[in-house]
Amino acid sequence: MPDGHIGEEMVLSFDAKRAKRLLIVGPLFDEANKFRHQIAEIMRKLNSRGIDSFLPDLPGCNESLAPFDKQSLAHWRAGVAAAAANFRATDILAVRSGCWLVPEDGAGWLYAPAKPQQVLRSMLRARILSAKEAGREESSDALMEVARENGIDLAGWSLGPELVCEIEATEFAAPSGYRIVEQADVGGKPLWLRAENDHDPAQADAIVAMIAAEAPGA
């Protein structure tokens, strides 16, 4: 909820009350759509390896009814922490920009963490390119000046001023309980770069094998 309360959100889950319970934090913005299929594939494979998994909607994202333009990294972090407690998650797998949101005291895997300024830069660039195609000149500096005060629509997402300032100021650093998993560890082409959404069963297998081998109690 915009006032800081954590409301009810939808969750995609495989819950058979097993010992290993993985909370998944997907990427934000455009990459959320790009990874949806792949994450569902990972969850199905985890299920067949005896691991429960939970993919909650972040407030304002996917099926959530909360307004996107009222969201902030702080609020999403609180949502992730609440979900981890609610589902009694034993570990967390975060993907790309989802890595910014994991609880400091948690443990798990951070898959190809995105750099906050780079994500913002890409979205600004997409907007400037669209404007250019429509015959309008825009610049990152001018857009950011307005965005810090009033928020901004970027690539179909309505970012509030708080979120803009947080992303601009965030230097991502992995909390100590998590292991960073690079694309080279997974193999194949990075799905977030793909112009058209895709999924890759071999990459999902690699991630699931790693989680099954390394999760506590394995």
Q: Which of 170, 195, 164, 207 is nearest to 33 (CA)?
A: 195
CA distances from 30 to 48, 86, 133, 172, 184 (A): 29, 27, 20, 19, 22
Of the pair 77, 121, the CB lying nearest another protein is at 121
DSSP state of 14: E
Residues of span 24-43 touching another protein by CB under 8 A: 30
Smallest distance from another protein to CB 1, Å: 30
Q: Which of 209, 201, 206, 210 is nearest to 38 (CA)?
A: 201
Smallest distance from another protein to CB 155, Å: 5
Of the pair 88, 189, the CB lying nearest another protein is at 189
Binding to another protein by CB under 8 A, coded x per residue (else -) over 181-210, reads --------xx-xxxxx-x------------
State the Cα–Cα distance between residues 203 and 1, nearest whole angstrom: 35
Q: State the residues that interact with another protein by CB under 8 A.
A: 30, 118, 121-123, 125-130, 132-133, 138-140, 155, 189-190, 192-196, 198
